Amino acid sequence: MVIHNISLPPRQFGGCHIDELFTNCLDPAAHPYFAEICHLEVSAHALINRSGEITQYVAFDKRAWHAGKSGFAGREKFNDFSIGIELEGADDVPFEAVQYVVLAKLLAALGCAYPNLLDEQDNGVSNSRIVGHSTIAPDRKTDPGPLFDWQKLTQLIGFVSKL
């Protein structure tokens, strides 16, 4: 599972522009930045917005185009086998507490639906199976960013997977 962040325009939250990007409907005239990215054909499996609402764009058992050129732990082409989850945010803006809670619940549910994501030792979602975009594409990407609290996510996953 690959954790990302996104905001459109950069560092601006809310609105419909992320949906437009992931459905190939982004208007290049709506913002100067959009002219640079409107040609991209990208998608994520899901987005968790700032209020914790989840929007699913691609079925979890289908390929989404979220990872780009990627490699880690001897594997490449992460789009072929990973689940991409976007958090509405930016590298230099703290994420909302509700985003961590919803992300942990989603990861735990995905762990139940896809048993290969489970850690056999504690029957929870294995942290080794959850990486940032920056981990699989370190020369290109920085998300979810230095303000993403991996420890908080780990604690929440442990909590929700015991429910």
What local confidence, expressed as pLDDT, does residue 142 receive? 97
- 118 neighbors 125 (Cβ within 8 angstroms): yes
* Six token digits for residue 27: 């208007």
Is the alpha carbon torsion for 24, 40, 52, 101 positive or negative? positive
Helix (H) or strand (E) holding 89: none
What local confidence, expressed as pLDDT, does residue 116 receive? 75
Per-position pLDDT tens, the chain of length 163: 999 999 999 999 999 999 999 999 999 999 999 999 999 999 999 999 999 999 999 999 999 999 999 999 899 999 999 999 999 999 999 999 999 999 999 999 998 898 876 555 444 555 678 999 999 999 999 999 999 999 999 999 887 766 5
DSSP 125: E
Catalytic machinery residues: 86
List all residues 6 or more positions away from 57 whose beta carbon is below 8 Å from its beta carbon. 22, 23, 43, 44, 45, 46, 47, 64
Catalogue all structural domains in the chain, each as residue range(s) with its CATH number.
2-161 (3.40.80.10)
| C-alpha distances out from residue 140 to 49, 69, 81, Å | 23, 9, 20
What local confidence, expressed as pLDDT, does residue 126 receive? 54
Which position has the token pair 């992460």? 78
Instruction: Quote the pTM value.
Output: 0.93
What local confidence, expressed as pLDDT, does residue 114 receive? 86
